[in-house]
Structure 1
């Protein structure tokens, strides 16, 4: 999950604050007299030391102090120098914990404790040289998910339908795209339009994702229908290695186009996806190479994600559901 990343701007340093704004931090910790200086440089959040608790963990009692404050809904950061076991103990009891981090390695460690990590990171000026890396890794990255090679068993013409192009505000790479399918339990990796051809230039910000009714995998283990996406929505971008990150939707284009119905199978379980019948729409091979739906053949292998069916308004539920 994405982390809140705050930058400690004590003492105030205009270059430091400007870097923080350009890097995309969520907010700044600053002295009360410096708040207006920061807000004059960009629209952001500022928190003063009086508005949260910075707790050094020196003994077991300090863990209890942190847990009590968090349960009272007070912002808490553990001071730099925290150790893993106390952090695990606090995370096991409550949510909302923040950790002060003085380096890239400490930030990575903070984000991964108990596979969940702290909810907030407070980056100190000592780590400013790695600030962009910290933000890119810990705000955009959504961890990894397992992708499986599936065998294409059928490719059929499916008439006309409304298809959705998702234009993001990010530039995607070959082998990256969105997971889309007829069922939340079987989604296909649809490659972004990263490849050019003699007739059409590459549009690496775009995923021609499929029919309006299709599910797409979203951050936070959720799904949405493609038709629900809009400018400002946050979507999940997945690479062929399983690495995931977030991207923001800049525009959605829904148009009537000729469609194909593609069916694939993994160990006796099949899934389907409706995609536009055009050369620029591509699935992804296990080797990470885009393959156009126009040249796709029965027997070809493409990357999919299999899961357990069962969603209600995009949230995972335990229920006997069959989707086809």
Structure 2
């Protein structure tokens, strides 16, 4: 993930406070202000002279930046950089950062060579774009392709341990987590954003499924729901496939009555165990939530298809069958 830094040079305490509230990964400050910045929050702070900064104005500058990257493991390109020289330097290794003065520049830097630079440094002139830059580079995980699955059967199966994932975020209608018995076929399980006559909405919560199920995580990894714990990041997905990150506040594992939901999408079949309760919902293709107790065979819900092979949560090329 690309890191977002803020350049607090010249020093401005109000700007530094805003940067800390925005969630930056690090700050660059005048050497005599480093301790003062560290006293404001737990964050990495670099003295201005600790970061090698190069302005690209010639091929010689590009070559100097490459040498610095190889020897020091980190180099910062000042404003005025252009894409081709940055691509050339980025191809030589990790540790490259660039200064940015707008959200558009930050997005551009994040897409170079399809992986982006390792960090962007937001200059003081762009302080008003800082929160948007952090959200765009640190919270968004891009867009996933979702498919439409047809419900085949809904079967009560007795008691089991299910996992409620309570996040540190307030989710919206249409958002949830991708969960399934196989990593190759996951269902969009909706957050508890909807109120009913018996239970208040809990928009921070996804009642995600049984402990053994897979859930898709950031950076195309997976985990068993039983492994999800406080402080871990989970992937939030909406009905359009847009993704974001949320931090887990707590994970509640409790014994509850379960139902087994079976569905097909094209020539692929998938299943999921969910709690048998009205507040647990999947998502229809139009983005509206549908309670699992209202589902009937033939209903359509959103899912994601993938390859089945996983080793410690990472996708691998392997012949595998899951039932």
TM-score by length of 2: 0.97
Q: Cα deviations across residues 103-155 of structure 1 (Å, max 9, x unaligned)?
A: 12111111122222112010000100111111111111111110111111111
Instruction: Measure, in 2, the Cα distance between the counterparts of 1:96 and 1:263.
Output: 46
Instruction: Measure, in 1, the Cα distance between the counterparts of 2:23 and 2:127.
Output: 13
Q: Cα deviations across residues 188-242 of structure 1 (Å, max 9, x unaligned)?
A: 0001000000100000000000000000000011000000011101111111111
Aligned to 2:41: 42
Q: Cα deviations across residues 36-65 of structure 1 (Å, max 9, x unaligned)?
A: 111121111101232221121222333333
Q: Cα deviations across residues 76-122 of structure 1 (Å, max 9, x unaligned)?
A: 11111111111222223322221100112111111122222112010
1:313 aligns with 2:312: yes
Aligned to 2:199: 200
- Does the CA contact (< 8 Å) of 1:111 and 1:138 recur in 2? yes
- Does the CA contact (< 8 Å) of 1:23 and 1:132 recur in 2? yes
Instruction: Measure, in 2, the Cα distance between the counterparts of 1:196 and 1:129.
Output: 36
Aligned to 1:55: 54
Aligned to 1:125: 124
Greater shift, 198-207 or 43-52, is seen at 43-52
SS of residue in 2 equivalent to 1:72: helix
Unaligned runs of 5+ in 2: none
Aligned to 2:218: 219
Aligned to 2:290: 291
SS of residue in 2 equivalent to 1:220: helix
Aligned to 1:85: 84
Alpha-carbon distance, 1:19 to partner: 0.4
Aligned to 1:101: 100
- Matched ranges for 1:153-232 at <5 A: 153-232=152-231
Instruction: Measure, in 2, the Cα distance between the counterparts of 1:226 and 1:86.
Output: 44
Instruction: Measure, in 1, the Cα distance between the counterparts of 2:72 and 2:186.
Output: 39
- Does the CA contact (< 8 Å) of 1:165 and 1:206 recur in 2? yes
Aligned to 1:270: 269
Unaligned runs of 5+ in 1: none
Greater shift, 113-122 or 283-292, is seen at 113-122
Greater shift, 87-96 or 191-200, is seen at 87-96
What is the aligned length?
323
Aligned to 2:280: 281
Aligned to 2:253: 254
Aligned to 1:152: 151
SS of residue in 2 equivalent to 1:122: strand
1:302 aligns with 2:298: no
Instruction: Measure, in 1, the Cα distance between the counterparts of 2:299 and 2:147.
Output: 13
Q: Cα deviations across residues 148-175 of structure 1 (Å, max 9, x unaligned)?
A: 1111111111111000000000001111
